[in-house]
Amino acid sequence: MIKDIFVMGLEAMKSYKIRTFLTLIGVIIGVASVIMVTTAGGSVSSFIADQWNVFNPTGMVIGTGTGGATPQLSIRSVVFTTNDVEKIQNLPSVKTVAPLGVVPLNKILKRDGFLKWESRPGEIMYASTPALLEILNLNLEEGTMFEEGKNEVVISKNVAEVFGKDKPLHVGDTIYLRRVDSKTLEAKVVGILKESSTANMFNALSTPGIICPTKPYYSSYFGSNVGTILKRVVGYTVLLAEATDTKHVQDAQDQILKYLDSGGSDANQYKDQNSDFVVITQQYILVRIEQVLSVIRTYITAIALISLLIGAIGIANIMFATVTERTREIGTMMAIGAKRRDILQLFLYQSTIIGLLGGLFGCMIGASGSWFVVDLLNKNIQNLGGALSTGTIQLTYAPEWFLIASVVGILIGVAAGVLPARKAAKMDPVVALRYE
């Protein structure tokens, strides 16, 4: 009998094709938008998380700023000395540490023939140690890493082509670097960096144009006053470090902070009294990003759920209209032996079928719509240019949302149908039969 009443409900819906179709569209849009929004949101989240993948998972940056639960880095004061670098290198949970000094260049020059020079506007050059490559997850396409104390540099692909794509610089070429203090330094190109495969918005940082050894390029430039003490030491604003493995990131961070805060470190003497030492790990960056993203995701999902709610109201509305319109039919059915339960089922099945079909088609349209939305976002990212124009958003479906959306679709069908169906079942057959 349940099957017969189910078929009756189906037949009735077939007779009201346009009405059923429009109600269905309401649910489909609701379910599809939940899926599209959550899928697009998830895909964008992982894209953004990738953008912030600056270091190795074990990587961290050491500097000064404001400490506490949400540390802030302010790259201002030059406090870390070569001595500090050595001491941190010897901490048990630290694998490598590399100083990072900035050497702004006015010009990059190349000898073209005998007395002719070719010149290009300069870039920012990073002075560090060979360990930098590992911390920033970089590889050499050709050549070798520079040696400390030698006039050697490693350059990026972009810099290699600075004098024209048709005449790129090669390993072994000699270039001249004019610093902002007008001193010109000779440098031999010993290596060319491979372009990073995992592109992110920090490529400018993580794929520097030119990397040089601190000696002779940096030490001779910045070896002046540090803090208030007149003493010729080499100082850095930030250090980059790597923990021995992912499990020891926290240990490494604690050990570094403990060392820096102790009286034994040079940095502790040179730093401003009001600032703290700050260590920001890659793990911390990702956790923070995830927090921000989850707020955004929650917000967007809430909006999408509203459209599901509207779909539900659509079902309830149409079912109420149908019940009212079919009042005399309901009276007739009761007169020929229908029980209240039969009438309740008849209308409940109809709204459930709408919820079920809406959930099903909504999932299908949501899946293809997500693809479309992510494609659109990717096109827009390419149009943005600049720092963000790297990488593409990967479409990542969240299966749990397909389940949630379709289950909610069915539940909405049932829930939205309950009141109208009860209204139908509670009718007084005498009154219903008289209804015009």
Partner 1 sequence: MSEYVIDIDSLTKIYQTGKTDFKALNTVTLKIRKGDFVAIMGPSGSGKSTLMNIIGCLDRPTSGTVIIDGENISIVSDNELAEIRGRKIGFIFQKFNLIPTMTALKNIALPMVFLGGTTADRDRRAAELLGKVGLTNWATHRPSELSGGQQQRIAIARALSNNPSIILADEPTGNLDTKTGEQIMGLLVALNKEGKTILLVTHAIALKRFANRVINMLDGEVSEKS
CA 251 – CA 242 distance, rounded (Å): 11
Beta-sheet strands, E only, within 208-313: 210-213, 235-236, 238-243, 276-281
Among the listed residues 170, 231, 258, 341, the single contact to partner 1 using CB under 8 A: 341
3-state secondary structure of 25: helix
**CA-to-CA dists, residue 392 to 37, 180, 197, 371, 433, angstroms:** 18, 37, 12, 13, 64
Q: Rg of the Cα trace of the chain?
A: 34
Give the nearer residue to partner 1 in terms of CB position, either 5 or 145. 5
Does position 329 interact with partner 1 (CB under 8 A)? The reply is yes
Give the nearer residue to partner 1 in terms of CB position, either 6 or 371. 6
Evaluate the CA torsion angle 111, 115, 121, 127 in order and state its sign: positive
- Beta carbon of residue 2, minimum distance to partner 1 (angstroms, whole number): 10
- Which among 209-217, 237-245, 331-339, 364-372 is the span making contact with partner 1, rule CB under 8 A? 331-339
3-state secondary structure of 247: helix
Does position 430 interact with partner 1 (CB under 8 A)? The reply is yes
- Which among 136-144, 153-161, 164-172, 323-331 is the span making contact with partner 1, rule CB under 8 A? 323-331
Please give the size of the binding site for partner 1, defined by CB under 8 A.
25
- Which among 4-12, 144-152, 162-170, 392-400 is the span making contact with partner 1, rule CB under 8 A? 4-12
Task: Find residue 103's DSSP bridge partners.
Answer: 125
Among the listed residues 28, 100, 190, 334, the single contact to partner 1 using CB under 8 A: 334
Among the listed residues 145, 238, 333, 395, the single contact to partner 1 using CB under 8 A: 333
Angle between helices 282-325 and 327-335 (to 10 degrees): 70
Beta-sheet strands, E only, within 94-233: 94-111, 117-121, 124-128, 140-143, 152-155, 174-179, 184-193, 210-213
* Bridging pattern class, strands 210-213 and 152-155: antiparallel
Does position 11 interact with partner 1 (CB under 8 A)? The reply is yes
- Within residues 387-426, the interface with partner 1 by CB under 8 A covers none
Among the listed residues 338, 348, 395, 427, the single contact to partner 1 using CB under 8 A: 338
Does position 337 interact with partner 1 (CB under 8 A)? The reply is yes
Give the nearer residue to partner 1 in terms of CB position, either 13 or 404. 13
Does position 321 interact with partner 1 (CB under 8 A)? The reply is no
Q: Which residue has the tokens 């037949």?
A: 11
- Beta carbon of residue 353, minimum distance to partner 1 (angstroms, whole number): 15
Task: Find residue 280's DSSP bridge partners.
Answer: 61
Among the listed residues 250, 275, 332, 392, the single contact to partner 1 using CB under 8 A: 332
- Beta carbon of residue 4, minimum distance to partner 1 (angstroms, whole number): 5
Among the listed residues 150, 188, 288, 340, the single contact to partner 1 using CB under 8 A: 340
Both tokens of residue 266? 């040079």
CA 145 – CA 148 distance, rounded (Å): 10
Return residues touching partner 1 (CB under 8 A). 1, 4-5, 8, 11-12, 14-15, 328-329, 331-342, 429-430, 433
